[in-house]
């Protein structure tokens, strides 16, 4: 009971943080999510740990997640992530001796599905900031078929998830999340022909994911197509429109970057948030993967900004009283919200 309360509290806090952090989060296809029963969410993975945070906070189910084991190295991080239903998945790069630990993790996944709960995984196996669905690993099929083999009466629904970021390198963010049509996993499971079952399910899931996120399939023209889309300053969160342009090879007219007239407001925010800003600039130098820049910026932001504003409000309270302190505290968040919601977000350079 306490764990559920903790999960829901963190979920609400992160959702509030995302509201202040993102210009817009479009969520499409919530009606495709079963209200009960065993569900496996299969999502693409373009943007580090921000991906599971976005999916879980805009999802009615209580989710259990598989994320790369590297995130669990520090004891405090392990304890915190485990409390939020995150589980480590080990890869060869983590060491051959570690991969055997997946057996225990998979058994836990079987029990989660058997108890008709929701599990979320990233079938691509790693994160990568590309405008396409990368090759799908067979790990998720091992979980599904393993659960069906152990519990033959179990019914498992797969919900493909497509995450698309307009430009994950900048703040504020703009995100589109699409939940695709349900896939009944049982229809693909043939105990005596696991190889064929695996290949068919992988193909179906990959095709479903490609329909709900921007996908440049032509490898030879990938860089050219992406460059043309960026030069035209396309809104990548308009998934159907962008994929139609890609499919039809529509000629695009180069477009100048839209002017962000509200940008000067960021300097007021920085002056009012100088300590969190410096903490972030120090931390940013230690982030060695571009896919984790957004994760650390958001994570530090939802911790340091509220604490710093509260501290400054207490100082204002000491000198000027409660009314002015309250106005200052609320105004600090209001300025951030105005900047976030009114900013212009251009495509990647």
In this predicted structure, what is the pLDDT of residue 253?
78
* Count of residues in the chain: 349
In this predicted structure, what is the pLDDT of residue 92?
62
Q: What pLDDT digit, counting tens, does each position of 154-182 carry?
A: 999 999 999 999 988 788 889 999 999 99
For the chain, percent of residues with pLDDT exceeding 90: 63
pLDDT interval class at 199 (50, 70, 90): very high
In this predicted structure, what is the pLDDT of residue 202?
96
Q: What pLDDT digit, counting tens, does each position of 97-112 carry?
A: 666 677 888 899 999 9
In this predicted structure, what is the pLDDT of residue 126?
83
| Whether the predicted pLDDT of 183 surpasses 90 | yes
| Whether the predicted pLDDT of 72 surpasses 90 | no
Burial level of 177, CB count in 10 A (0-12/13-18/19+)? buried
**Residue linked to tokens 């396409």:** 132
d(CA 43, CA 51): 9
Better-scored residue on pLDDT, 255 or 288: 288
Q: What is the pTM of this model?
A: 0.90
pLDDT interval class at 83 (50, 70, 90): confident
**Residue 215 is inside which H or E element, if any?**
none
| Whether the predicted pLDDT of 150 surpasses 90 | yes
pLDDT interval class at 251 (50, 70, 90): confident
Please provide the DSSP assignment of 7-62 as one string: HHHHHHHHHHHHHHHEEEEEEE-GGGS-SSSEEEEEE--SSTTHHHHHHHHT-SSP
Better-scored residue on pLDDT, 82 or 180: 180
| Whether the predicted pLDDT of 113 surpasses 80 | yes
User: What 3-state class would DSSP assign to 201?
Assistant: helix
Question: Of 142, 137, 171, which is closest to residue 22 (Cα–Cα)?
Answer: 171
pLDDT interval class at 349 (50, 70, 90): low
pLDDT interval class at 95 (50, 70, 90): low
Q: What is the mean pLDDT of residues 261-284?
A: 91
Please provide the DSSP assignment of 320-345 as one string: H-HHHHHHHHHHHHHHHHHHHHH---
In this predicted structure, what is the pLDDT of residue 98?
65
| Whether the predicted pLDDT of 93 surpasses 70 | no
d(CA 301, CA 281): 12
Burial level of 99, CB count in 10 A (0-12/13-18/19+)? middle
Q: Where are the domains of the chain?
A: 2-211, 265-342
Burial level of 113, CB count in 10 A (0-12/13-18/19+)? buried
On average, the pLDDT of the chain sits at 90
| Whether the predicted pLDDT of 86 surpasses 90 | no
For residues 63 and 56, the answer to whether their CB atoms sit within 8 Å is: yes
For residues 113 and 156, the answer to whether their CB atoms sit within 8 Å is: yes
d(CA 61, CA 303): 25
pLDDT interval class at 136 (50, 70, 90): very high
Distances (CA, A) of 219 to 45, 95, 170, 213: 19, 31, 26, 17
Better-scored residue on pLDDT, 156 or 233: 156
Q: What pLDDT digit, counting tens, does each position of 44-70 carry?
A: 999 988 999 999 899 999 999 887 777
Question: Of 265, 245, 160, which is closest to residue 210 (Cα–Cα)?
Answer: 160
CATH T-level topology, domain 2-211: Glycerol-3-phosphate (1)-acyltransferase (3.40.1130)
User: CA angle 156-159-163, nearest 5°?
Assistant: 155
């Amino acid at each position: 009971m306490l764990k559920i309360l903790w999960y829901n509290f963190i979920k609400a806090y992160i959702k509030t943080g995302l509201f202040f952090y993102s210009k817009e989060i479009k969520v499409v296809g919530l009606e495709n999510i079963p209200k009960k029963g065993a569900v496996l969410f299969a999502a693409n993975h373009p943007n580090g740990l921000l991906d599971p945070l976005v999916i879980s906070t805009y999802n009615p189910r209580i989710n259990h997640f598989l994320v790369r084991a590297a995130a669990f190295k520090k004891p405090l991080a392990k304890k915190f992530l485990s409390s939020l239903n995150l589980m480590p998945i080990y890869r060869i790069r983590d060491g051959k001796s570690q991969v055997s630990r997946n057996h225990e993790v998979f058994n836990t996944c079987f029990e989660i599905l058997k108890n008709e709960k929701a599990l979320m995984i990233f079938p691509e196996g790693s994160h990568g900031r590309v405008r396409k669905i990368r090759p799908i690993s067979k790990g998720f099929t091992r979980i599904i078929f393993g659960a069906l083999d152990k519990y033959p009466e179990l019914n498992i629904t797969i919900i493909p998830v497509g995450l698309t970021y307009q430009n994950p390198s900048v703040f504020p963010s703009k995100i589109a999340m699409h939940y695709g049509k349900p896939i009944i996993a049982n229809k693909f499971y043939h105990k005596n022909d696991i190889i064929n079952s695996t290949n068919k399910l992988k193909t179906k899931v990959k095709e479903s994911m490609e329909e709900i996120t921007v996908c440049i399939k032509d490898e030879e023209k990938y860089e050219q197509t992406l460059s043309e889309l960026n030069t035209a300053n396309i809104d990548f969160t308009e998934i159907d429109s962008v994929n139609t342009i890609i499919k039809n090879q529509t000629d695009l007219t180069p477009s100048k970057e839209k002017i962000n007239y509200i940008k000067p407001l960021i300097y007021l925010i920085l002056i009012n948030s100088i300590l969190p800003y410096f903490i972030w600039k120090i931390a940013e130098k230690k982030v060695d993967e571009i896919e984790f820049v957004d994760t650390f910026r958001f994570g530090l932001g939802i911790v340091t900004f509220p604490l710093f504003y509260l501290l400054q409000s207490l100082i204002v309270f000491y000198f000027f009283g409660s009314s002015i302190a309250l106005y200052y505290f609320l105004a600090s968040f209001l300025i951030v919200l105005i900047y976030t919601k009114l900013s212009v977000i251009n495509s990647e350079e």
